[in-house]
Structure 1
């Protein structure tokens, strides 16, 4: 058997799920090497398959929303006391786990879920957690950020080992944060929206009104003012896109962790929710019937549903934005009353999770709710444990841990008591019967509704935990998972067949009911307009759902259309059966193939699938003469004659004819053909001939060749390495490519030739060097030579020239700066003397570049010594300003390296 990777803790689970869970671990163990205590792994498909990474006590668990159980759990402790953790998926494939109290960030590889590093926090830890939401993590398409609401700063999350990113300060109290593409956006209470890209503030957009916050809608950042007006802020200027219908100082905006197409905000005090479609401007407002003690917070979106958290419950309100209604009762969220829980959309599901509760609420895309089990742990409580009254214990700190303290030793293990065997129940056993048998054995039975299973009806047992056949102590709890009532899916707006297929997939029966009122538009035909029971209501497996739809409409008029287009419209848009019949011959101005009669007549009410017969002018038509005519004009005439026109691009117009002019047609002109036949028109293309390679040519000759090919020459003169004057060294358009006639072809050259420079050492071995063009060393110099780089000939007037002059002294007697002979190069351009001795010069030696473009390097003259016999002046030329133990230096300019 393949050993399990270290660092994995598998939660307890029913036998029915154990096989798949163990398979995940076995696959991981064979594919990954995980350091002890470093992390956990899940297979890549699970990351987007209805799953999420949820905070669980002092660590994080990967939970599968389909099985309702945890796949694996990080063995590393990331929090103490009641400190809060939040997971954020980063765009580089990592998962960042942020301790919101200390600011510590732990990085996991999303593919292998191994810990890849930790970024220490900058906030001092507080015993038991601060309880304040000061640190908010956010992820853009490129980076992750930590927004500190206390310091009003935004800091880029960098990889461990990289230099820390400097925080960006907002110009006031931050009241909202949201991503938008590559940018992180924060907004202040005064309405200043700051865009942060790659850890830097790139601009501030002023809305000009007090802001309630910022959210993400349709992929864009949107600021909502306290008067309810929404502003898109990622354009050149803020743009008002509508009003949400809710306003005031109690607004809380939709969370980016569950953003959708709509801009959403809810009034914490009244429970009134507003939703704005930024594309259409449509506004929907719904009032949620919350109590006075409600503690509403940022909603999330999934499909046409909005979900609003109420920490007082704790609970989650579901709002149907398609119908503008809210549920009469919220979903219960496992956890502690009055304590905030996390709310996000992951894997196509909504997840509401109290970090210190064993259970979490999951809502599917169709609005169906169920619960998942993150697994037992000493630092979480179980609010659904019936031995605890079925409700949360609401402790001040997690179990087995005093306020701000470390884990305490548990009680000693009691002596083994009597044990019994958990029964095994055959398929189809009602859960009530199973609980009776379990109770009769002295065990505690906890029935729990689960998902659907093929072959089982509502109330039938799916599995037990512990599984049947296992021995457990008397008074142990046995969870009986059974098929619970189904949640009626929302199929309003779906085609009737697809809607029925959806119900059938859920084990429900579909009853089709036609609405006698004719449809107003063809888009309403065959589409469900209402359902009974309504979406989201409980329904037993095998139950019947009545779907009402319209199947009649007034027949449209297709007279005057070509018969093929008329039948396409009737069959594809109106869902009718169309029969096209030849009628009278086309005479006069009538067009062959055009419909002139239909049965039933326009305006007659017809049903889906009814047959409509269209009668059209029969006969053939004569093809016109199109050579020499513009192809678009000619094609329009082909269509008017009842034929199908095909435009075919042919030879280039350059040197041949006029662009767009037809020079060949098939079939020939003045021949008769059936209506609907294809006429192909070949025309001169506006594309020029293949562009030649101009590298190595004289610039004037290259431009002449470009002009001759029908293009416009765009010569660009600039400095470049290894160039000969006026010879093309590069071109922007690749050789062999083509472009529209008259397009610019850019060729690059330099009017200045480069010269290769060397420094040469005096033959007597003294430390005296001269700067000369390659091969032009003066007599007596050449003992050693070193390449300096490519510059320009002395006196060349290049842009930004740095003129280098030569100075020398040969009078002997140690009077040349302490030497008999001495040389140096300098940008100095005046007579020079050292210690009373005049030197020869200046003499032009070279021209370097004053600034350094890419591919070039700065060259220095360096020197040391006082210029006396005891301390001779020694000069050097190098790219290293400290070469040869230099005491001082002069920048001579830049050369091509």
Structure 2
């Protein structure tokens, strides 16, 4: 039973700024922090329907959540994000709570649309207070529940690091940032299957359907990289604080790739052996060094890839027998901890040599969890009273206390520890050579613990015989055996309609409680509904119903998430057909996506749109246009069917802005000046701007330099002593003119949206005028006799926004 502690905070001596605290803990109504007393030897774990804080030094629980967060034997995932808060998710219902460590009063997290959950009535994010806000009862069957390839179960998964927490929904492929009592959906271009968070709080999300890894900061994607072909059998973990992508390919081995950071690039190591991808357990995120540990279940082989040297070595676990059921290995400083759920053991190996040091029995009868926190490895069966703590070579037992739905072991003893025989590891260098690791026999150790009794084996149930029974009786028998019945029809020659034919798993099989059992009932075969599912899943469902599947590609997907989705089936769903009838399913192609139309978008928005669909973006800021940062054309054009990943879409735009070309007149004289400066000099009168040109240092295709010249003496007429002249020629027109250098840039040849800028001279007035063809200034100069000499200066933007759009 939990020992009761009391805590009282007394403030003394505030004048000198010293706070003395006396810590007391009160259970049942919450918890007040005792960090100063317990240091870092504690963690938060599930105890039955509640969450408790356990301490490795005291060997007991010292605090519990203010209320229950589970019913029955629901599983909770408990993750501490920082010293001040813990997040808890119910893996059956998907409900998520934030629990401050100072009072352990959980409040339900408001999971906004897109966060990967649909709040049930009455539970949409309000604070959980007292006992009136109880967790939901387990659904039957649990919607969205999955068992991942790595052995994890649940509708939601918590991933944390660097003070941030994310909620992953592997069922609908969404990810949400947990922010206090709220969640912020991460906008993802494709569904994601796994995620890890490094010590900087950066999340890395893997999309198998897109074959991409997204780097996420907060609730936004920073960048992405292609890590596999679409729908590849890839796994994600974290080693040395860097994401690692593992892909096993039958027949060729596959590869492991560690993603680079600011100082190191990516490194890929080809796997030495071919393995069954579905039978591989990849290590949990958190290995302190850049090594990848995997476990191949069929032959009990533990493999280590060292990305620092490129070497690989492996060894087989000893003492294993029967059906294999391993969890993901946990890697600490120099140890590997392998959960064996079949034999209810944790196997401890040396990381460097793969020498098997011990195998420890785990208390309890249910599936247990192995986690690493603050230098210790914690082993917990949520519904067992006792749990284990590894502090390197020291093993301790923690008593979580009675009550809250846990099983109370009558004999409190340390679990049995065995020192199995050691097999010689095999070392295979991939990119460098390293000496084989030395293997030594373990020295016998003397146990100071009482002689233990063997831990109980997991409680399995036997699938009852269903053949020959009517559907109602067969399902009732399965329900009575604590199994879930899923009936489906099948047409066998001579069978009696309504009678069960067989089951999967087969009768007599021993399985875990609540396992789904498919019962095949005699009757006309019904075509299953497969619209919207992926073609491989659709064909599997059709074949399971005793029908023949014929897939036909019939369209191009608009997004990578739609590649391979079924858009039509014939015969239609629910049709009654003969056994082995051919069902044609029409699906969207698996390797191509329709190129979207990004014309008219800003370049950044266009690239974001393209990359969200799996295309590469190739910006080309060389388009000749007056519109700045607006895509004018693309290649391939919109509507093209193109492969993803791999296709680069070129977007053409202009990133250099034109400015207004100003026109000024000297006060009282027939002399005019052109300038990009909108502010007139002293003695000048401003007149309307005449078009768009570019600064002298601007770069765009087709631009030429225009030079300016000024005459300051006897420039024409008895009262005028100033005149200006402009030309592409850098040489002065006469000796009376001196060069002012480059004044502006414009186009040397006509471009759509431009007009020819003329220099117009009048002999009578001995003066130059400047105006674009088609402007009222040009017409006015012509009418006033500026026709004796005309020069073509260049082409400027005219009659386009914002350069005199109306002429």
**What is the TM-score with the length of structure 1 in the denominator?**
0.39
Q: Higher relative CO (CA 8 A, sep ≥ 6), structure 1 or 2?
A: 2
Please say which structure displays the higher CA radius of gyration.
1
